[in-house]
Copies of this chain bind each other. A is one copy, B any other.
Amino acid sequence: MDQLANPVPHSRKRMPPKEVGCCQCGLYAMCQVAGLENPDKHKIDSLVQRRKLIENGDDLIQAGEEFNKIFAVKSGMFKAVTEFDDGRSQVVDFFLPGELIGLDAIHDQVHLYKVTALEDSSVCELDFYAMLDMENEYGRFQQKLMDALVAKTRQSQFQPLLMGAQSAEQRLAVFLVGISSRFHARGLSGEEYRLSMRRMDIADYLGLALETVGRVFKRFEQKGLLSCRGRDTQIGDFQGLMEIAGLMGATSIGQ
């Protein structure tokens, strides 16, 4: 098959890992509450641990683990996986730079999902209960937390649309648009990023076969919608993806 004149030229070198500044981090508001801008340094350090490194493939959280910290992705990327008793598993979420991990465990203080680094990554940790104890002093923590929760709820409402998508092309397009939006929301490029997850993870998440995901990526590339080299991905035609995703009239979604 003839190769189209590639409309989305790719630089030959690998994309450097992306990192968010504190201002773009979902934990920022809470860090402020915790007093990071406060002179009382030693109190801060007891609440927030910065830049803990997690190596590619290592687990940040085990399923069943007790909840006591909220994590924020500083750099890199993570996936959340449910593990069934019979050995099967399913990817249920991805966490991009600036996003919060662990919110769903506040409910009953237990993490339901295993969370694994998809590349060498770093996180900040916030001691949840210590923050609650300081509530009287700083008073705005719960409110910030609630904002974060609702934002997360909103994001997960992407998923019904994913579900409604009948074709593999539609699903992948919805997925890519969502990722782009999320990168963009954190002040990173939504057009050029590294999709650290394996094809298998994407397939699992989208409920498609691994081979199908690959074929659709190729089709998208031939249409000039995007260009990928390994896992580095460059969006060439965001509008085009939105159209395939069937999201053009979705005012509620476009980030």
Instruction: Report which A residues bind B (CB closer than 8 A).
Output: 63, 82, 84-88, 90-93, 103-104, 106-107, 112-113, 142-143, 145-147, 149-154, 156-157, 159-166, 204-207, 246, 248-252
Indicate whether A163 sits within 8 Å of B161 (C-beta atoms), given known contacts A146-B149, A153-B149: no
A113 to B224 Cα, complex, angstroms:
34
Tallying the copies of this chain within the complex gives: 2
Sampled A-B contacts (9; CB under 8 Å): A84-B249, A85-B248, A86-B248, A87-B249, A103-B150, A106-B150, A149-B153, A159-B160, A164-B204
- Complex CA gap A104/B155 in Å reads 10
Interchain CB contact under 8 A, A250 and B84: yes
Q: Could you say which residues of chain B place their CB within 8 Å of the CB of A205? A: 160, 163-164
Residue among B146, B151, B163, B252 making CB contact with A142, cutoff 8 Å: B146
Quote the shortest CB–CB distance from A10 to chain B (angstroms). 30
Provide the residues of chain B in CB contact with A63, threshold 8 Å: 252
